[in-house]
Amino acid sequence: MKLNIVPARAGARWVKSGIHTFFKQPLALAGLFFMFMAAMTIATLLPLLGSALALALLPAATLGLMAATQEATKGKFPTPLILVSAFRAGKQRMRAMLTLGGLYALGFLLVMGITALFDGGSFARMYLLGAQISRDTMAEPGFQTAMWIGMALYLPLSLMFWHAPALVHWHGVPPVKALFFSFEACMRNFGAYTVFGLAWVGVFVLAGIVMAAIAALLDSPQLAAAAMVPVALIMATMFFTSIFFTFKDSFVSEADDPVVEA
């Protein structure tokens, strides 16, 4: 396995590939993403350690969606069982994925803990527990500072875990090394990932404009509100589908085969 340097324009290609692949298996991929979100939500409802458990399962669940995308690129129908691919690749890979999940949960909770130093934990409670926060609280300088610091600290954490699940699962890279390689790949291909992010912002904004235009033409805000949830689900599914292509282009094996079979 080696790092592959790609031009900045690859970021736009990743977005296009994600959207194109989604439409190959729209019902399957959207359904799997819904199951992924439902599982994360149910995990957070568990007392005491629910939020930490959901965070720990996130890398494995993300890998499952990437595996589903791989199946869709081959014209296959990804079944729900593929979401647990990370736990069906042998004990060694499963332990490595669980270790990765634990590191992610620890890192995320550390970020939230740092933000609590600035606002007494309001931002962390809102993000982790879904606590209701008043507009006055959100407008307070402490809350604003906590929010921006949280975003700034989460960015490098996100880059470290962007490719780590796939590196652990498909290439057998140890968890700590996978974090390093993931971060390096994102930084070395910074231009492509910047274009990727900006392109998705543009897609989401365009979708919002289209929805607003349809609501205005039909003079039905209720219809727009009702359509918002399925449209958001589809857009989020497309985004997660495109993550597979960022990995596929960023790493190649010595045999020039970017992904081995699960």
* Tokens at 141, concatenated: 């300088």
Would you say how long the chain is, in residues?
A: 262
Give residue 52's pLDDT.
Answer: 86
Cβ–Cβ < 8 Å for 28, 72: yes
In the DSSP assignment, the letter for residue 243 is: H
Distance CA 36, CA 44 (A): 13
Place of tokens 């080696």: 2
Element (H, E) at 234: helix 221-250
Q: What is the pLDDT of residue 262?
A: 36
Determine whether 134 is exposed, middle or buried from the number of CB atoms within 10 Å of its CB (0-12, 13-18, 19+): exposed
Alpha carbon of residue 122 to chain centroid: 24
DSSP-derived 3-state class of residue 253:
coil
From residue 39, alpha-carbon distances to 43, 243, 244, 250 in Å are 6, 20, 21, 29
Please report, in tens digits, the pLDDT of each residue of the chain (262 residues total): 789 999 999 999 999 999 999 999 999 999 999 999 998 888 888 876 788 888 999 999 999 999 999 999 998 999 999 988 888 888 888 999 999 999 999 999 999 999 999 988 888 888 877 777 788 888 888 889 999 999 999 999 999 999 999 999 999 999 999 999 999 999 999 999 999 999 999 999 998 888 878 777 777 667 767 777 888 899 999 999 999 999 999 998 765 444 443 3
CB atoms closer than 10 angstroms to residue 163: 25
Task: Classify residue 87 by its DSSP letter.
Answer: G
Own/partner long-range contacts of 144-152 (Cβ < 8 Å, ≥24 apart): 145/118, 145/119, 146/115, 146/116, 146/118, 146/119, 146/122, 147/115, 147/123, 149/114, 149/115, 149/118, 150/111, 150/112, 150/114, 150/115, 150/123, 150/124
CB neighbourhood size of 119 (10 A) = 24
Q: For the whole prediction, is pTM greater than 0.75?
A: yes
So what's the pLDDT on residue 115?
93
- What's at 216, amino acid-wise? A
How many Å apart are CA 181 and CA 145, to the nearest integer?
Answer: 31
The per-residue pLDDT for 122 is 87
The crossing angle, in degrees rounded to 10, of helices 141-162 and 164-171 is 20
Token couple for 59? 């890398």
- Structural contact between residues 83 and 32, judged by C-beta atoms closer than 8 angstroms: yes
- Amino acid residing at 74: K
Q: Which of 150, 162, 152 has the alpha carbon at shortest distance from 111?
A: 150
Digit-coded pLDDT (tens) for 176-230: 999 999 999 999 999 999 999 999 999 999 988 888 787 777 776 677 677 778 8
Beta partners for 3? 251
What phi and psi values does residue 252 have, to the nearest 5 degrees?
-135, 150
Extended strands (E) in 153-241: none
